[in-house]
């Protein structure tokens, strides 16, 4: 093509008809091959030996075996994924929430190929290209629709986004050194984040250096017993007690508006609002951790779904965004030198991430009748129907526990068989995998089967096909335990 005086060579490359045609050809080839994947299937016998050998090498490399014998072949079709052993499975956990648009998505493949044309693969805080700015600006503009966010700092993982967020809170409220978090929370696996997360086994051998005070998460059964207002008042009284016991020593309160690993637990707006207002009155930062919730509730941000954006000082997002980020209000903008990083993400990641944000914004996912709400209703109805057919698989869970066999919110889905027994639920997850559905578990007692389906591409009419597999797997587990 002919360049003008105002064109850069980079612009000429991006507009090249040759490259555009080549990318379109690659995407069509992927689509043609992906289209052949239409249903689950068992492993191919001829591939079993080589697959087992590959699994053994992978375990030796990591120092431990993989939780599931999952090694992808490199192709899938939406919510269906093919493994190297030739099997095809419904992917209902999507990499713990990363693949919201499933496998071999043509738009994201195109975006990734376009992003790979840059002169470098990875960007950092010192040098980056336009894709870095486009992603960050798009995310910030979306966040500003319902909050006071003023700045956005990009990084490579959710744990690092959380690390940046806590440093911002510490600096703003120095010399405060304590943090508040909910019981059963999960924050990541860095040295600091594993200390905040409420899972002792994740920090065995780690020297404890972070001062954490835990608050109870909403307990539906307890709230019903004593009354919601009294439950909220008791929580505020406990929070106030912490503030009085350690005056001006708390830098932040970390809120998971839907708990992830803790059990896909939800809480009413009034509970969060009362705690956030108490934080505000004591000069403590409200930090909203949406690494897992972002994009999955009935609004793009969980704080939008609960109308809490005006309280949020610091926000973290990740997983489905492909690039992770910490955002904060202008009042929390840190001094130079506090934050940086050699890596902030890759060109393909920024391009694909921007396309994800655009699709979430424009795709009809949100609202009472949006796609995510419809999926959750379908999941709920089928779970209740399954429990009605097999009540022995779903014994009641006594206090402190759950009032229902199904829970979560939006694209964060759980069901609770076997009275929340951990061993039986883990066994069910493995049998589900063998039968053709990839799920996982969550909770700290009771335990649950959790799903983070790729709702960006999952067809509502496919839920009965998935539940047919779930019922078959649960029948196997029931037969084993008779």
pLDDT category of residue 6 using cuts at 50, 70 and 90: low
Domain span at residue 233 reads 115-362
Q: Tell which residue, 411, 415, 412, has the closest CA to residue 381.
A: 415
Query: Do 320 and 414 share a domain, yes or no?
Result: no
| pLDDT, tens digit, 9 for 90 and up, residues 330-356 | 999 999 999 999 999 999 999 999 999
Q: What is the pLDDT of residue 43?
A: 95
Query: Do 308 and 412 share a domain, yes or no?
Result: no
Query: Do 138 and 278 share a domain, yes or no?
Result: yes
CATH of the domain at 440: 3.90.1150.10
**CA diameter of the chain:** 79
Q: Alpha carbon of 7 to those of 12, 17, 389, 412: distances in Å?
A: 7, 16, 66, 46
Average pLDDT, the chain: 94
Query: Do 296 and 351 share a domain, yes or no?
Result: yes
Query: Do 377 and 334 share a domain, yes or no?
Result: no
C-alpha span between 475 and 482 (Å, rounded): 11
* Average pLDDT over every residue of 274-289: 98
* Residue 67 within a domain: no
* Residue 354 within a domain: yes
Selected residue with higher pLDDT from 396 and 415: 415
* Average pLDDT over every residue of 229-241: 98
The two three-digit tokens of residue 26, written as one number: 């690659």
CATH of the domain at 213: 3.40.640.10
Instruction: Decide which of 362, 382, 416 is a domain's last residue.
Output: 362
Query: Do 316 and 383 share a domain, yes or no?
Result: no
Query: Do 355 and 415 share a domain, yes or no?
Result: no
* Residue 74 within a domain: no
* Residue 307 within a domain: yes
C-alpha span between 245 and 43 (Å, rounded): 59
Examine the pLDDT at 1 and tell me if it is beyond 60: no
* Residue 30 within a domain: no
The two three-digit tokens of residue 65, written as one number: 């075996």
Instruction: Decide which of 303, 333, 362 is a domain's last residue.
Output: 362
Q: What is the pLDDT of residue 465?
A: 98
By three-state DSSP, how is residue 444 classified? coil
| pLDDT, tens digit, 9 for 90 and up, residues 35-57 | 999 999 999 999 999 999 999 99
Examine the pLDDT at 290 and tell me if it is beyond 90: yes
Q: What is the pLDDT of residue 5?
A: 59
Instruction: Decide which of 339, 362, 385 is a domain's last residue.
Output: 362
Give the list of residues 6+ apart from residue 405 with CB closer than 8 angstroms, or none: 383, 384, 387, 394, 415, 416, 417
What is the C-alpha radius of gyration for the chain, rounded to an integer number of angstroms?
23
* Residue 52 within a domain: no
Query: Do 229 and 343 share a domain, yes or no?
Result: yes
| pLDDT, tens digit, 9 for 90 and up, residues 356-405 | 999 999 999 999 999 999 999 999 999 999 999 999 999 977 544 455 89
* Average pLDDT over every residue of 98-122: 96
Residue entry with tokens 């360049």: 3
Instruction: Give the rounded percent of residues in the chain with a pLDDT score beyond 90.
Output: 89
* Residue 399 within a domain: yes
Backbone angles phi, psi at 325, to 5 degrees: -155, 150
């Amino acid at each position: 093509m002919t360049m003008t005086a105002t064109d850069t060579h980079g612009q000429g490359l991006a507009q090249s008809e040759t490259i555009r045609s080549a990318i379109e050809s690659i995407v069509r080839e992927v689509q043609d091959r992906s289209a052949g994947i239409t249903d689950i299937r068992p492993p191919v016998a001829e591939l079993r030996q080589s697959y087992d050998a590959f699994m053994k090498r992978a375990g030796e490399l990591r120092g431990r075996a993989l939780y599931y014998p999952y090694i992808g072949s490199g192709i899938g079709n939406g919510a269906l994924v093919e493994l190297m052993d030739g099997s095809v499975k419904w992917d209902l956990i999507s990499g713990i929430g990363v693949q919201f648009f499933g496998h071999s998505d043509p738009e994201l493949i195109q975006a990734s190929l376009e992003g790979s044309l840059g002169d470098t693969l990875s960007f950092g805080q010192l040098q980056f290209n336009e894709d870095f700015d486009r992603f960050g600006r798009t995310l910030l503009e979306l966040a500003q629709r319902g909050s006071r966010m003023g700045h956005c700092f990009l990084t490579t993982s959710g744990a690092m986004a959380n690390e940046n967020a806590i440093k911002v809170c510490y600096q703003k409220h120095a010399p405060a050194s304590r943090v508040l978090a909910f019981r059963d929370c999960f924050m990541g696996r860095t040295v600091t984040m594993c200390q905040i997360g409420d899972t002792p086994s994740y920090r065995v051998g780690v020297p404890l250096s972070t001062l954490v005070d835990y608050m109870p998460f909403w307990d539906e059964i307890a709230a019903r017993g004593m009354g919601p207002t009294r439950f909220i008042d008791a929580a505020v009284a406990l929070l106030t007690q912490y503030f009085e016991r350690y005056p001006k020593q708390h830098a932040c309160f970390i809120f998971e508006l839907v708990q992830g690993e803790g059990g896909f637990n939800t809480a009413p707006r009034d509970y969060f609002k009362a705690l956030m207002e108490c934080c505000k009155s004591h000069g403590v930062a409200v930090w909203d951790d949406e690494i897992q919730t972002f994009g999955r509730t009935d609004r793009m941000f969980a704080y939008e779904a609960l109308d809490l954006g005006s309280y949020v000082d610091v926000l973290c997002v990740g997983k489905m965004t492909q690039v992770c980020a910490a955002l904060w209000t202008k009042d929390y903008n840190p001094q130079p030198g506090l934050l940086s990083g050699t890596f902030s993400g890759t060109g393909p990641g920024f391009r694909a991430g921007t396309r994800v944000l655009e699709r979430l914004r424009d795709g009809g996912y949100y609202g009472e009748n949006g796609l995510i709400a419809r999926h959750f209703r379908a999941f709920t109805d089928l779970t209740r129907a399954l429990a009605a057919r097999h009540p022995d698989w779903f014994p009641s869970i006594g206090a402190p526990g759950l009032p229902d066999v199904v829970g979560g919110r939006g694209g964060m889905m759980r069901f609770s068989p076997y009275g929340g027994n951990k061993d039986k639920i883990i066994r069910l997850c493995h049998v589900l995998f063998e039968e053709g559905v990839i799920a996982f578990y969550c909770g700290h007692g009771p335990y649950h089967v959790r799903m983070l389906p790729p709702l960006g591409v999952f067809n509502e009419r496919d839920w009965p096909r998935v539940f047919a597999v779930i019922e078959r797997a649960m029948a196997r587990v029931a037969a084993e335990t008779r």
